[in-house]
Structure formats: C-alpha cells, structure tokens
C-alpha cells in the first residue's frame, strides 16, 4: 500500500487544555522535524518526548511536546509522531496547515486504523473493536470492546480454523490423486472437528443478544393508562424532572427517551402516551407511537394504578401487546395510597388473567418505594442473556452474520460427509466454511491452502 505521510487531529474537536495531532508514514519524522524548533527529531530515539516550538518559517505557532515512535513498534507499524499542543481549534488548524505545506496530507476517515490492519498490526475484528471502544458509554460495553481489541473473538476461533485448514489441505491433496482413489483426510476425525466448531459457533451466535444489549442498550417501554404514573416513574428513575407530571390525563403526547445505567448496563427508557381510546387527534398519534415503541422494545414495564377497582382495560391492553420475546413487568403503582391487601388483590387479578409469565412489583415513585426492586428486575434481564460457555461476547452485526454463514457452511460439510458426496464438492463446502470463518478477522485462505 501507499506509505505516504498522513496527519490528523487525534483528539476531539473543540477547546481543551491539550490537543494531539498524529502523523504516520515513511516521512513522518522528517516532515515533523522541518517544522519543529527543538531537538533534531531525525536523530531522536524511538518512544521519546521532546520540548520545543512548532514554526511556520520564522513564525512561532505554539509551544509543544513532540513524541517520536519508530517502526515497527507503533500503532500503524510505521514511523509515527504525535504533537501535543495547547487545545485551541485555531492552533490545530495552523499546525495541520504547516504539516501539509511540508509534505504530509490529511488522513482519510479511519486511515490510521486501516494502516494498522494492512500492516498486520491488528486484524479486522480488532480494527472494528477500536470504534466500539471509542463509542462505549457504559462499563459493560467498554469491557467487551477491550476484550475484542485484545483479539478475543479471533482467539476463540483461530485454533478451530487452523485444524479445519489442515483438513481442507488434505482434501485438496486427495483431488491431486483422484485417479488413485485414496483418502488422506480421516472423515470421522473431520466430523468430530465439525461438531467442535459447531458448538463454538453456537455459543458465539447465542451471545449476540447479550452483546447487542450491551452495545445498543436495552429498550424499556413504560406503558399504562393515562395517569398511571409513567412520567413520575421516569423522573424517579432518572432523578430529574425529565417529563411533565400532571393530574390532567393525556399530558404526555409524544414519546420521551432517556438512558439509565444500572450495574454497568445501559437501558433506554421510553415514556409513552397513556393508552386509551381518544378523540384528540394529537393524543391518538401519541398512543399509536406508544404501541410502535412496544413492538421494538425488549422489556415492557406496564403500570397499573393500584387504587383502581377495575383492571379489565389494563388486562386487555397487556394481552394485545404480548410477545414471546418480550419480558413483561407489571408494576402496581401508587402503593402509598392503598393497603397491602389491595395490591395483593391486584396481583391475584393479573395472575389469573395473564397467561404469560411476568414479574409483579409494587412501587411508589413519589415516595421512592421499591424502586430498587424494579432496577434489579431490569438488570437481571440482561444478566440472563449471558452465555456461560464463552468468555467472548459478539456485539458486531458483521461478526454475527459471518458466524451465521460459517454455521450454514459447517452444516453443509456435515451433510456432504453423511451422504458421501464427491471429494470435489466436499472440498468446495470446506473452502466456504474456512472463508466465512476468515471473514471475521479478515484472514484469506488461498495462499494458506
């Protein structure tokens, strides 16, 4: 690939105490030396830091610290320089201009990471995990992305892939001796390996639901009749007045979404319009949107006013919203206004009428009663998604699809062995399986074969 010298701002845009510009390429050090008034960078040792000034001719732009990193022990595996300057967007712009004037060019989006991949410094899954690590917003997503950056998924499948590669090579060898009708690859041993690969792929594929919850957050729809306490609950969970609370039914017209972090996991709380038949056109749109949000939610928190005498509308509404893959939590609200006997009666009514398994919680958002019970139920949903068979969690849609293709290819190979399909077709199916496994880390197979 082209090893011309690239430069870019490595820190976020905006004002800060310090900003960092990164330069990489064959001429990264000479280009930097041209604009640096300080130690001769071309004679500097690798992984050293030097004080001086960035200059454009005789004009001093800023007082800086420059770090020198020599190939191959750098992020891109190329000579690299990092300039730490006072964090002004104007200074950053001036330094980048003078670098370009002296032979560098602006890097394209993701080009530093691309060079690290192309130069063999990281594999494809690690390159993707860098973006996930930068975008992580909670402890769980940070840990998963960091594990991927260390080569988590690649390590999980690399040994299996190596064993499969050996079998593919033997099958290819059989093709070279087709006229002699000999078998170099033990079919029973190949079957055992395929079973092992299938079990590992299953474990990784099943982890995607948990990984998706970690990466994108778990959608929690807060549903109920008007004045059931939905907005009050949202405010209590967030500990701020995010939604308007009023005794007037139908106050919430549109959906309100906020992020809540519980035990390192992100939950996307969706406060919706109260569900009821209404002639108000705007409120009716809000009710329709509320039902749409439930269709895309992972958890339904249904609020029922414990002081209500008739729950038939609530029961019908829950039945209309139920899905097999939707966790249902029914909360009896405003328990500070009723006796324990009343909300026990409420639970019995719902248990009798709702066939789907659900969790029943009594809460008072106003008095902050049993709010931790609700948080624990939300957290337990995510924890139950964890796979005990694998330490690696799949969070990337591309990885998930590649694993699915690999599973399909492995099943076709097993069918080919079972039905004693010709060696040529068996080799074809094996190559497909190997190719799809390699897609995850960006490995290619032709040269290896």
pLDDT of residue 337: 82
| Helices (H), ranges, 240-339 | 281-295, 312-321
Percent of the chain with pLDDT strictly greater than 90: 27
The answer to the question of whether 272 is labelled as a binding residue is yes
pLDDT of residue 246: 42
Residue 300: enclosing H or E segment and its boundaries?
strand 299-305
- Output the pTM of the full model: 0.68
Half-sphere exposure of 151 (CA within 13 A, CB side): 10
The answer to the question of whether 229 is labelled as a binding residue is yes
The answer to the question of whether 232 is labelled as a binding residue is yes
Condensed to tens digits (0 to 9), the pLDDT of residues 311-337 reads 888 888 888 888 888 899 998 888 888
Please determine, for residue 274, whether its predicted confidence score (pLDDT) is greater than 60. no
Half-sphere exposure of 111 (CA within 13 A, CB side): 20
The answer to the question of whether 447 is labelled as a binding residue is no
The residues, ordered by sequence, that sit 6+ positions from 81 with a Cβ below 8 Å of its Cβ are: 22, 23, 24, 28, 29, 32, 41, 66, 67, 68, 69
The answer to the question of whether 109 is labelled as a binding residue is no
The answer to the question of whether 224 is labelled as a binding residue is no
Please determine, for residue 245, whether its predicted confidence score (pLDDT) is greater than 70. no
The residues, ordered by sequence, that sit 6+ positions from 114 with a Cβ below 8 Å of its Cβ are: 127
Half-sphere exposure of 141 (CA within 13 A, CB side): 23
The answer to the question of whether 251 is labelled as a binding residue is yes
**Region 354-372 average pLDDT:** 86
pLDDT of residue 35: 96
């Amino acid at each position: 690939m082209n090893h011309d010298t690239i430069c870019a701002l490595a820190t976020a845009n905006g004002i800060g105490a310090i900003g960092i510009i990164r330069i990489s390429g064959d001429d990264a050090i000479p280009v930097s030396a041209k604009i640096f008034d300080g130690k001769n960078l071309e004679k500097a040792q690798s992984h050293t830091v030097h004080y001086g000034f960035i200059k454009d001719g005789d004009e001093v732009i800023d007082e800086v610290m420059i770090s020198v990193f020599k190939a191959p022990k750098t992020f891109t595996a190329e000579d690299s320089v990092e300039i730490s300057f006072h964090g002004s967007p104007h200074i950053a712009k001036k330094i980048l201009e003078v670098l370009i004037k002296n032979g560098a060019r602006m890097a394209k989006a993701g080009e530093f990471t691309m060079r690290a991949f192309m130069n063999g410094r990281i594999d494809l899954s690690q390159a993707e995990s860098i973006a996930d690590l930068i975008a992580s917003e909670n402890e769980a997503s940070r840990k998963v992305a960091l594990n991927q950056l260390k080569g988590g998924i690649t390590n999980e499948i690399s040994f299996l892939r190596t064993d499969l590669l050996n079998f593919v090579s033997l099958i290819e060898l059989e093709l070279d001796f087709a006229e002699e009708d000999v078998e170099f690859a033990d079919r029973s041993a190949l079957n055992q390996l395929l079973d092992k690969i299938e079990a590992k792929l299953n474990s990784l594929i099943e982890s995607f639901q948990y990984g998706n919850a970690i990466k994108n957050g778990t959608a929690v729809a807060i549903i109920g009749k008007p004045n059931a306490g939905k907005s009050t609950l949202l405010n209590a969970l967030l500990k701020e007045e995010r939604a308007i609370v009023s005794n007037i039914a139908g106050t919430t017209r549109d959906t309100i979404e906020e992020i809540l972090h519980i035990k390192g996991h992100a939950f996307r709380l969706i406060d919706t319009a109260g569900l009821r038949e209404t002639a108000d056109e705007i409120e009716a749109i809000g009710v329709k949107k509320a039902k749409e949000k439930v269709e895309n939610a992972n958890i339904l928190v249904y609020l029922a006013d414990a002081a209500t005498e008739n729950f038939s509308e609530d029961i019908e509404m829950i039945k209309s919203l139920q899905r097999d893959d939707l966790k249902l939590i029914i909360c009896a609200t405003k328990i500070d206004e009723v006796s324990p006997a009343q909300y026990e009666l409420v639970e019995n009514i719902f248990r009798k009428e709702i066939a789907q398994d659900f969790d029943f919680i009594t809460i008072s958002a106003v008095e902050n009663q049993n709010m931790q019970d609700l948080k624990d139920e939300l957290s337990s949903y995510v924890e139950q998604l964890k796979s005990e068979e694998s330490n690696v969690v799949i969070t990337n849609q591309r990885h998930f699809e590649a694993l699915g293709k690999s599973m399909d290819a492995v099943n076709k190979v097993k069918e080919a062995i079972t039905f004693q399909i010709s060696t040529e077709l068996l080799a074809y199916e094996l190559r497909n399986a190997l190719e799809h496994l390699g897609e995850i880390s960006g490995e290619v197979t032709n040269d290896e074969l």
